[in-house]
Structure 1
Amino acid sequence: MPFINSITPIFYRLVKYINASGMAALLATVGVIGFSSASLASEAPAIAAAANIKFAVDEIATRFQQQTGLELRISYGSSGNFITQIQHGAPFEMMLSADEGYIDKLHQAGFTQDEGIVYAIGRLALAAPKASPLILDPELVGLRQLIDDGKLSRFAIANPDHAPYGVSAREVLKAKGLWDALQPMLILGENAGQATQFTISGSTQGGIVPLSLVLTPEFAKRGNYVIIPDVLFQPLNQRMALMPQASETAERFYQYMQSNEARQVLTQFGFNLPKPVVKQGD
């Protein structure tokens, strides 16, 4: 998927709603599908998506475009930041959140067509660069040992203030009694994608990040991971919804995200799945 390499009038319509603190993160994580003069002319819908689903949604959106000929403009970032942008008028037609609470907040304020639907259930991984001294295990025993030995200097998670995966990482660390001890060592990513970059860049000894972002060949070349037990954090029910002004293309992609094909892709990237919605008459 190409990244933005030029500024266009339609992109200006989006970025004028983004505050300065969030600009660098957005520009670093925006992915664009079919970003061309033809797609701009047809007003391909702008879709906000949580950073943790980038690789899965890139694949799903590519299949959608191949099957329908319809193009999308997908921006990746933290769910909390997208909420603020939408409330201030950003022209998104659909949002795929990393947490259902954010969609509920938008719905209660009248920014979505309805309460939306859970499309995936997120999972967490403890990850580290290959050269890290951190011994990876599901119960974080190795992390505790590294802290006790005074050998941990930096550890990455997404910012809990606006990133659901950061909230869940904090829950895990509190459940294991490590949160207070880690405070001086924490490196906070603007979103889950940035936290994952910090985790494998060599600037940290490890981090707690979305499982979906470590199940890639690129990560495998640079890092290792173990899956964190789901019982250590509240379910990450990822919900999506359409905005009132959603176009037919956005509505079709919303339906496609619920298809068996899309659900199979989500499974490949480590997500658990909600039960499919049974429509009346089925």
Structure 2
Amino acid sequence: MSVDAELTRPLTLLRLSPDGQASPIERAVAVECPVAIEVDGFGYAVMMMTPERLEDFAIGFLLTERLIDAPRDILAIEPFAAEAGWIVRVTLAEHLRGRMRDRVRHRTSDTSCGLCGLSGLEQIARPVTKRPPAPRVPTATLFAALDDIRAHQPLNARTGAIHAAVACDATGQVLAAAEDVGRHNALDKLVGRLAVEPDRQADFILVTSRISYEMVDKALVAGVGLLIGISAPTSLAIDHARAHGLTLIALARADAMLVAHDPHRLFD
């Protein structure tokens, strides 16, 4: 089921110039609102995000939270508007409800990630079931995908405030793309879309953000072999990529990219 939501709002801003002149300017501002995730009747998380493609987000979020193993584990997804934002009600298959009872907690995160609110540091090390495949992507394809990403950011083109996550095959063809005010949310939407279309096997994911531990973890859940970010990686992100064999490229620019981890020696 799809939902219709306001994604931008018009706003009059004051433009200041170096010569001291001030003039009004009309801009589209990205909508950010709370989206509550309810699983089997329990309030699981509240995410500050773009209220678009909430079904994809719910699937990707529950996959990366390890509450489900595949989209078929979800019996129903029901997004609906509430007075203060949006609510997404999810019903899980009976055999997975023990996981939910083990993980129930109320959590609020500000444009944030799946780690916020975990009750102990030991919960960060969640299982990764399999190693990703070796990437088979020519260097030129990576630069071409970076050059093409703006074409898949229509909401950001209107607002300048939106992150994107794009999945491509080995030729650079875009298989799926997602946008959100939160980089983690955009990637969860992408993971959800790839999960419900398993015939679309992505070879790499490109994100318009820094690469944190959580971004690496979500890419591993998606089963891709290569993650590229336009900003820098954190130390924990590199450690996580090394531990599980994910090829990692950071600070992607039109003139250069930095290989942070290359377990298959693709770029030697």
Structure with the larger strand share: 2
Structure with the larger helix share: 1
Higher relative contact order, structure no. (Cα contacts within 8 Å, ≥ 6 residues apart): 1
